[in-house]
């Protein structure tokens, strides 16, 4: 994906990351617990995993490509190396070009005041501009990750204390971030002022934990304490927990797509259980776009809770008409196009005996490029279904996300190019309907979408971006960081 050109390259495969982060302070098994925490967050990133611990005067870093279990499995050398009572970890998910080893987090740097490790979930929207300035001033970058910008800015801060240096750095960045950071004495958890990405806090045996989702607390038997608030920096050290709100307050805009697709259904984020949210969305979808049919079939696994909600509301039997092979990752996450296209066949198989002669309603969470839905509809028809109706538990995805969910360029989004009827024809369904915007808000317990102050970040459905898109060209492409280091 590198172009070798250094000026104003808008790159199709710019780094958009949706990741999982984990941090723990004050536990003898900090490294092993981080491995487990990252394993629970595996759905947030499958390309690479890394953990940094601090032990008696030095930091230990293990960063590896692949799944958490690949490198950090039982008795692995990597897991054994992770000594110490403090740790942070990161699961990485990136598009092509982001797979280089130097991008695997946590990033670490030896600053004037000591070591600093950072793990970041989200995406900065002015990283290119900041990086260009920093490079002009002599900074030498080692990765193409936007997160490294935060390290450089922290290193350059003239403040005395590391917490203040980090605040200084974060005051200069725009975008979405849920960060965990580790020094020799402190664990820090911080969310951007809009609170776009999740970050929760937990406790285990007196140790404090930060994690992207509550499912990472469950796996280690930790108790959920609370969500880190938008714009809040929580610092944990030997004296306890200190909380700061160092940024200018902004409207709270948590990513609604975390509920629709990204988070694990057994997680509770900002007081709302993800599974229940998805079921509610399915029920509202059934109310809004009913259709006479013999069965409701989820596109597994992401469509399952919404399909259940739909089936209950419509009083139509829920059936597993498509079986998923669990040994293949999420298709969308595979970095190369050829694998993505192959992926659907590798992953889903129709349950022919169930489908023959039936009028079916397929429920999935989203249509992005449309590749998956088109293949699924054809597969279900080939298996003998008499009618195939498609229901989508999100509004049409018309805009790219620049805050950390990997979506293609706007031009590649099916809903950006087509209206619903054209999309129906493209995917080959007998009918197609998406949940309405107000329907989505209703399912989330709001009366409707308040256009002046929406309760969520729903930019991928509305184009209403709550955070400045400094490095974005015409709202469609993110300036690549990689181009400049080619």
By CB under 6 A, name the binding residues for ligand AMP: 261, 299, 302, 330, 332-333, 364-373, 405-407
CA angle 224, 301, 32 (to 5 degrees): 40
CA angle 479, 480, 481 (to 5 degrees): 120
Q: Which is nearer to ligand AMP, 225 or 320 (CB)?
A: 320
Closest CA to 464 of 476, 448, 451: 451
Q: Which is nearer to ligand AMP, 143 or 302 (CB)?
A: 302
Q: Which is nearer to ligand AMP, 53 or 123 (CB)?
A: 123
Task: Please confirm whether the linkage preceding 186 is cis (ω < 30° from 0).
Answer: no
- Does 19 participate in catalysis according to the annotation? yes
Task: Please confirm whether the linkage preceding 155 is cis (ω < 30° from 0).
Answer: no
User: Least distance to ligand AMP from the beta carbon of 287, Å?
Assistant: 22
User: Least distance to ligand AMP from the beta carbon of 102, Å?
Assistant: 23
Distance CA 277, CA 260 (A): 8
User: Least distance to ligand AMP from the beta carbon of 400, Å?
Assistant: 10
Distance CA 338, CA 56 (A): 47
Distance CA 122, CA 235 (A): 20
Q: Which residue in the list 19, 215, 255, 460 is annotated as catalytic?
A: 19
Q: Which is nearer to ligand AMP, 170 or 285 (CB)?
A: 285
User: Least distance to ligand AMP from the beta carbon of 268, Å?
Assistant: 21
- Region of residue 480 (phi > 0: left; psi between -120 and 50: alpha; otherwise: beta): beta
User: Least distance to ligand AMP from the beta carbon of 368, Å?
Assistant: 3
Q: Helix 337-347 and helix 371-382: axis angle, to 10°? A: 30
User: Least distance to ligand AMP from the beta carbon of 417, Å?
Assistant: 12
CA angle 208, 273, 122 (to 5 degrees): 60
Phi, psi of 412 (to 5 degrees): -95, -5
User: Least distance to ligand AMP from the beta carbon of 207, Å?
Assistant: 32
CB 154 within 8 A of CB 183: no
Phi, psi of 62 (to 5 degrees): -130, 115
CB 407 within 8 A of CB 415: no
8-state DSSP, 318: B
Phi, psi of 123 (to 5 degrees): -155, 135
Radius of gyration of the chain, Cα coordinates, nearest whole angstrom = 22
Q: What residues act catalytically?
A: 19
């Amino acid at each position: 994906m590198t172009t070798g050109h250094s000026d104003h390259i808008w790159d199709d495969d710019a780094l958009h990351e949706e990741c999982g982060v984990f941090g723990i302070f004050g536990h003898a098994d900090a490294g092993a617990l981080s491995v487990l925490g990252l394993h629970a967050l595996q759905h947030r990133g499958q390309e690479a995993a890394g953990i940094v611990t601090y032990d008696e005067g030095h930091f230990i870093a293990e960063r590896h490509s692949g799944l958490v279990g690949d490198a950090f499995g039982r008795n692995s050398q990597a897991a054994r190396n992770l000594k110490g009572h403090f740790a942070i970890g990161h699961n990485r998910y990136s598009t092509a070009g982001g797979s280089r080893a130097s991008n695997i987090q946590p990033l670490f740097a030896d600053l004037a005041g000591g070591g600093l490790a950072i793990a970041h979930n989200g995406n900065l929207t002015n990283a290119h501009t900041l990086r260009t300035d920093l490079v002009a001033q002599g900074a030498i970058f080692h990765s193409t990750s936007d997160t490294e910008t935060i390290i450089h800015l922290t290193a350059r801060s003239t403040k005395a204390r590391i917490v203040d240096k980090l605040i200084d750095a974060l005051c200069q960045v725009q975008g979405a971030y849920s960060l965990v950071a580790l020094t020799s004495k402190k664990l820090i958890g911080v969310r951007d002022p809009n609170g776009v990405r999740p970050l929760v806090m937990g406790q285990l045996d007196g140790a404090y934990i930060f994690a992207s989702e509550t499912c990472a607390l469950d796996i280690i038997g930790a108790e959920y304490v609370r969500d880190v608030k938008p714009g809040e920096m929580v610092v944990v050290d030997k004296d306890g927990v200190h909380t700061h709100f160092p940024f200018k307050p902004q409207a709270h805009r948590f990513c609604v797509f975390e509920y629709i697709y990204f988070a694990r259904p057994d997680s509770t984020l900002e007081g709302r259980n993800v599974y229940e949210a998805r079921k509610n969305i399915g029920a509202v979808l059934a109310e809004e776009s009913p259709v006479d049919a013999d069965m409701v079939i989820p596109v597994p696994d992401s469509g399952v809770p919404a399909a259940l909600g739909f089936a209950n509301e419509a009083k139509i039997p829920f059936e597993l008409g498509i079986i998923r092979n669990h040994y293949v990752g999420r298709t969308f996450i595979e970095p190369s196009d050829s694998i993505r296209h192959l992926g659907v066949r590798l992953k889903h198989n129709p349950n022919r005996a169930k489908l023959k002669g039936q009028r079916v309603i397929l429920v999935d969470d989203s249509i992005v490029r449309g590749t998956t839905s088109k293949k699924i509809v054809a597969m279900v028809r080939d298996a003998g279904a008499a009618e195939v109706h498609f229901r989508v538990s999100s509004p049409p995805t018309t805009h790219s996300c620049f805050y950390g969910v990997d979506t293609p360029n706007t031009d590649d989004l099916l809903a950006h190019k087509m209206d619903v009827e054209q999309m129906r024809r493209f995917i080959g369904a007998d009918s197609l309907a998406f949940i309405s915007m107000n329907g989505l808000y209703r399912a989330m317990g709001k009366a409707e979408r308040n256009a002046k102050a929406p309760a969520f970040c729903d930019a991928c459905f509305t184009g209403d971006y709550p955070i400045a898109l400094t490095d974005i060209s015409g709202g469609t492409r993110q300036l690549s960081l990689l181009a400049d280091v080619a």
